[in-house]
C-alpha cells in the first residue's frame, strides 16, 4: 500500500481523534506501548495530495533563482535577507507526493529536470565518512573572523545539506549505529544548534547553498517507507532558523507537507524526539509554525506568496506538524511550554463560527477547520464560539416556545422567552432546586432571577447575586455536600452516601448556567474535577455508560489532599520491607457520620498485604477509589446537571483548565489594567477624587481588592477577556460626602461621592465593600 494510503483518517467532531493507520510495516517492539498522537483529523491534510494535479506552487523557480542570483548575492550587505522571485507563479513544478502510486506516474517529469536539480536515487543509503567534528567546525568559524575566507565553512554547509545521508553523517552521534529507539534520536543536538547559530551569520551565498541542498533533498523520489535516517533528517531540517524568513516559506511548506504525510508510526518517533528538545528550541519551533500560519492567513505582502488557491495545503500541513509538537509537549511533565503558548491570536480575527460550523458539518470529510486543532484556538476565541453557539440555542428554544404558544391560539408572553427563577432568600437552595427541576425544559433560555418580596429588576446584577449566594450556601462545610481541604484551598465531593443526589445535579446545572450566561463563579474545585467533567465531553446515549471517570494519578490527588499524596509517595520510595513495616492491606477506611466504614480496593483486598512488589498497584487503586469510585454517584449527578445545560460540541474544543477559567474566571487581578480600562461618568481621570481612589485601591491588599471587585461586579474573579471585559465605570454621585459608595452590579458601575480627602474616601470605601450583600432601592 502507498504511504498516502496510510494517512490518518478524518475524525468526526465528537473527538479530536488520534490517527489510525490502515496498514503498516511490522511493528517494532518499542512502538507497542506508545500513546496515540492527539492530532487533528486527516481532513486537515486533505489539501496535501493535490500536487499530483499540478495545482500547487513548487520549487523549481526557487532553484533557478538561487542559481541566477548566486553571484550578485555575494555582494549584498544583509546575510539573512533571502529573496526568491516568482514564487507566486503557477508554473513552478510540484514536489512528488509521498504516494508511491503517484510517484510512478510522475517519473517522466522527474527525468526531464535539468542536471542541476536531479537528485540521485540511492538503492541503499551509503553514508560517507564523517568530515568534521563539532570542534573542527567551530575552529573553522573562528578562523573566518581573522582571515575573512569562508571557503572551508562554505564547503562544510554545501556537503552537509546536500542530502539526507549527509545530514546523518554529520549530526549522528555514531554513524554506524541505527538508533532505532523511540527515546533517543541519535542526533548531536549541540552540534545542530552550533551549525544553525553560525548559519545566520554567514554570507548569503552560503545560506542559499543550504536552501538549495534542502530543495534537492525534498525533490528526491522515495522508494519504500522512510528509514530512521530520513526521520532524523526531517527532525534536523525542521529546526532550521532560515524558515523564520518569509522568502523561504515555499520550501518550508513542502518540508511541512512531507512531515505531515508520514505514517503514524513515524510520527510517534518524531513526537518522542521532539519532547527531548530544549525548551528554547521547542518554543522556537512552535512560534515559527504559528507565524507561518498567521502570515499565510494575513500576509503583509501578498505578492510574496503563491495564490491561496494554489497553496491551500500550507495551513493544514503546518497545523498537523503543530499537533505533533502539542502531543510531545503533553507527554512531558511538567510540559516544556505552557499550553497557552500554542494559542494563535491571529485566529481571533477570522470567522470562528464558520470554522465551527465547518467542523460540525464536515467532520467526516476532507474539509479543513481550525476546530480540528483546538489547541491553537485561544480561550477568548473559544469563549466566543461557545457564547454564540449558546445564543443560537437560546434563540431556537425561545422561538419554538413562541411558535407553540401561537399554534395553541394563546397570547404570547415575553416571560416565556426566559428561564425565570423566583426564589426566597430564606429558602434559597430548596426554591432554586424546585424551580430548576420544574423548568428543566427552559434551561437553555436566558436566565432571569427575582427575589420574592424585593422590587429589584434583574438586569444582570440579581442573577449574579443569586449565583454567589447559592454557591456560598451549598459549599458551606455545614451543608455537608463538599469538604473543604485547607492544605490545598479547594473543595471536593463528600463521599457520604445518601438517598438523593439531586443537589449535586443542581451544582452542575449552576455551573452550566454560569458558562451559558457568561457569569463567573467563585468555586474552588481542583483541576481533576474539570478533567472528570469532560469524561466524556458529550453525554453518552447509553445511560449505562459510566461518566465522570478519568485516569487519575498521585499528582491529581496531591492537588486535593497533599498530605495523603505525600504519604503515598513515601510508601512508593520506601527502601525497607513494606509488608513488615507498614502492615497494610488492600483495604481502606473512611469515616461517615461518625461511623468508620471499610472498603476493599480489589476483591479480597482485606486479605492481600501491601508489599514492595504490589505497592504501585495499591497506590493507583487507592487514588482511583478516592477520586473516582467513592464519589461516583455524586459526581455523576453533577456531570449530568452540567451537561443538561452545556450539551454542545463546542465543549470538545476545551481543555480542563479552560473549562475552569470559563466557569470561575481567573483569580489573577491586575488593578493597573482595570485602571487603564475604566470609564468615567461625571468625573475625569485627572480629578482629585479619582486620583485618591486609585491611590487607595492600588495600595489595598489582595483581599480588599477582591472585595471591591465583588462589590462592583458581583464576582471577585476576572473574566476570560481580562479586566477590559468588565466595562468598569465610575460615576459621580452628587450626594453628601457622608454617604457610602453605591454599586450597580448589573452595570459594573461604582457611584462615588466627591470625597474631599484620601483618608475619608478610604474609610468609606472599606465600609462599603465589606458590607455589600443584599439588593435594595434608594
Residue 567: is it exposed, middle or buried by C-beta count within 10 angstroms (0-12/13-18/19+)? exposed
User: Which residue, 253, 374, 377, 368, is CA-closest to 317?
Assistant: 253
Q: In the block, which residue shows the cell 524526539? A: 273
- Specify the residue for cell string 476545551: 654
Cβ proximity of 646 and 515 under 8 Å: yes
- Residue 311 appears among annotated catalytic residues: no
Positions of E strands within 356-481? 418-423, 446-451
Which residue shows C-alpha cell 465600609? 767
Radius of gyration of the chain (CA): 32
What is the Cα–Cα distance from 261 to 268, expressed in whole angstroms? 13
Using DSSP's 3-state secondary structure scheme, residue 603 falls into coil
The total number of residues shown for the chain amounts to 778
Closest to 44 in 3D by CA, of 330, 332, 375: 375
Cell of 34: 506508545
Cis peptide before 755 (omega within 30 of 0): no
* Grid cell in block for residue 118: 536531479
Q: Which three cell numbers stand for residue 746?
A: 448589573
> What residues pair up with 59 in beta bridges, in sequence order?
none
Q: Cα separations (Å) of 680 from 687, 690, 744?
A: 11, 9, 14
Kindly report the backbone phi and psi dihedral angles of residue 146, in degrees, each rounded to the nearest multiple of 5, phi listed first.
-95, -35
- Catalytic one of 371, 529, 646, 746: 746
Query: Whole-angstrom Cα distance, residue 497 to residue 132?
Result: 71
- Nearest CA-CA partner of 494 in 589, 592, 561: 592
Q: In this structure, what DSSP letter does residue 194 have?
A: H
Residues marked as catalytic: 746
Amino acid at each position: 500500500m502507498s504511504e498516502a494510503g496510510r494517512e490518518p483518517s478524518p475524525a468526526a467532531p465528537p473527538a479530536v481523534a488520534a490517527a489510525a493507520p490502515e496498514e503498516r510495516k511490522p511493528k517494532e517492539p518499542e512502538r507497542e506501548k506508545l500513546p496515540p498522537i492527539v492530532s487533528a483529523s486527516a481532513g486537515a491534510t486533505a489539501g496535501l495530495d493535490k500536487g499530483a494535479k499540478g495545482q500547487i506552487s513548487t520549487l523549481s523557480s526557487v532553484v533557478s533563482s538561487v542559481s541566477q542570483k548566486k553571484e550578485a548575492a555575494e555582494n549584498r550587505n544583509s546575510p539573512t535577507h533571502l529573496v526568491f522571485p516568482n514564487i507566486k507563479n503557477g508554473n513552478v513544478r510540484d514536489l512528488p507526493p509521498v504516494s508511491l502510486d503517484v510517484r510512478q506516474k510522475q517519473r517522466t517529469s522527474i527525468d526531464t529536470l535539468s542536471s542541476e536539480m536531479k537528485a540521485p536515487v540511492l538503492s541503499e543509503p551509503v553514508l560517507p565518512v564523517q568530515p568534521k567534528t563539532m570542534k573542527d567546525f567551530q575552529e573553522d568559524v573562528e578562523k573566518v573572523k581573522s582571515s575573512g575566507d569562508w571557503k572551508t565553512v562554505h564547503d562544510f554547509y554545501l556537503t552537509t545539506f546536500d542530502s539526507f545521508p549527509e545530514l546523518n553523517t554529520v549530526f549522528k552521534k555514531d554513524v554506524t549505529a541505527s538508533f532505532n529507539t523511540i527515546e533517543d534520536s541519535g542526533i548531536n543536538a549541540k552540534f545542530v544548534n552550533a551549525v544553525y547559530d553560525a548559519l545566520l551569520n554567514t554570507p548569503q551565498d552560503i545560506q542559499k547553498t543550504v536552501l538549495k541542498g534542502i530543495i534537492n533533498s525534498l525533490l528526491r523520489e522515495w522508494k519504500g517507507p522512510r528509514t530512521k535516517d530520513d526521520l532524523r533528517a526531517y527532525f534536523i531540517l525542521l529546526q532550521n532558523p532560515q524558515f523564520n524568513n518569509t522568502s523561504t516559506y515555499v520550501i518550508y511548506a513542502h518540508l511541512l507537507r512531507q512531515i505531515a504525510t508520514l505514517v503514524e508510526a513515524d510520527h510517534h518517533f518524531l513526537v518522542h524526539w521532539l519532547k527531548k528538545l530544549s525548551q528554547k528550541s521547542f518554543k522556537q519551533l512552535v512560534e515559527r509554525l504559528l507565524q507561518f500560519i498567521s502570515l499565510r492567513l494575513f500576509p503583509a505582502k501578498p505578492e510574496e506568496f503563491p495564490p491561496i488557491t494554489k497553496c491551500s495545503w500550507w495551513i493544514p500541513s503546518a497545523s498537523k506538524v503543530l499537533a505533533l509538537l502539542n502531543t510531545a509537549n503533553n507527554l512531558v511533565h511538567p510540559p516544556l511550554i505552557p499550553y497557552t503558548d500554542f494559542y494563535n491570536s491571529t485566529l481571533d480575527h477570522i470567522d470562528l463560527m464558520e470554522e465551527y460550523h465547518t467542523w460540525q458539518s464536515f467532520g467526516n470529510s476532507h474539509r479543513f477547520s481550525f476546530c480540528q486543532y483546538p489547541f491553537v484556538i485561544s480561550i477568548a476565541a473559544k469563549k466566543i464560539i461557545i457564547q454564540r453557539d449558546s445564543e443560537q440555542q437560546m434563540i431556537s428554544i425561545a422561538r419554538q416556545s413562541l411558535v407553540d404558544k401561537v399554534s395553541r391560539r394563546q397570547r404570547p408572553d415575553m416571560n416565556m422567552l426566559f428561564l425565570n427563577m423566583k426564589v426566597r432568600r430564606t429558602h434559597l437552595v430548596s426554591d432554586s432546586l424546585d424551580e430548576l427541576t420544574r423548568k428543566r425544559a427552559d434551561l437553555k433560555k436566558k436566565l432571569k432571577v427575582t427575589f420574592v418580596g424585593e422590587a429589584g429588576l434583574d438586569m444582570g446584577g440579581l442573577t449574579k447575586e443569586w449565583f454567589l449566594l447559592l454557591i456560598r450556601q451549598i459549599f458551606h462545610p455545614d451543608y455537608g455536600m463538599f469538604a473543604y481541604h485547607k492544605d490545598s484551598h479547594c473543595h471536593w465531593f463528600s463521599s457520604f452516601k445518601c438517598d438523593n443526589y439531586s443537589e449535586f445535579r443542581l451544582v452542575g446545572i449552576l455551573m452550566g448556567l454560569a458558562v451559558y450566561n457568561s457569569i463567573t463563579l467563585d468555586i474552588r474545585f481542583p483541576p481533576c474535577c474539570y478533567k472528570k467533567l469532560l469524561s466524556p465531553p458529550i453525554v453518552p446515549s447509553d445511560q449505562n455508560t459510566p461518566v465522570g471517570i478519568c485516569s487519575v494519578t498521585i499528582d491529581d490527588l496531591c492537588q486535593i489532599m497533599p498530605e495523603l499524596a505525600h504519604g503515598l509517595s513515601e510508601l512508593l520510595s520506601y527502601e525497607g520491607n513494606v509488608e513488615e513495616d507498614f502492615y497494610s492491606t488492600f483495604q481502606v477506611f473512611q469515616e461517615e457520620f461518625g461511623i468508620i466504614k471499610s472498603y476493599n480496593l480489589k476483591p479480597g483486598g482485606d486479605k492481600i498485604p501491601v508489599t514492595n512488589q504490589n505497592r504501585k498497584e495499591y497506590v493507583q487503586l487507592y487514588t482511583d477509589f478516592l477520586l473516582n469510585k467513592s464519589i461516583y454517584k455524586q459526581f455523576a449527578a453533577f456531570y449530568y446537571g452540567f451537561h443538561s445545560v452545556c450539551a454542545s460540541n463546542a465543549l470538545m474544543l476545551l481543555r480542563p483548565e479552560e473549562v475552569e477559567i470559563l466557569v470561575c474566571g481567573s483569580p489573577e487581578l491586575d488593578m493597573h489594567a482595570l485602571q487603564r480600562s475604566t470609564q468615567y461618568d461625571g468625573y475625569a481621570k485627572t480629578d482629585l477624587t479619582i486620583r485618591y481612589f486609585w491611590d487607595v485601591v492600588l495600595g489595598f491588599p489582595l483581599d480588599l481588592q477582591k472585595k471591591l471587585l465583588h462589590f462592583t461586579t458581583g464576582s471577585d474573579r476576572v473574566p476570560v477577556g481580562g479586566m477590559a471585559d468588565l466595562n468598569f465605570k465610575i460615576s459621580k454621585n452628587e450626594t453628601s460626602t457622608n454617604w457610602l459608595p453605591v454599586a450597580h452590579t448589573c452595570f459594573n458601575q461604582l457611584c462615588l461621592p466627591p470625597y474631599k480627602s484620601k483618608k475619608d474616601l478610604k474609610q468609606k470605601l472599606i465600609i462599603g465593600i465589606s458590607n455589600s450583600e443584599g439588593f435594595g432601592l434608594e
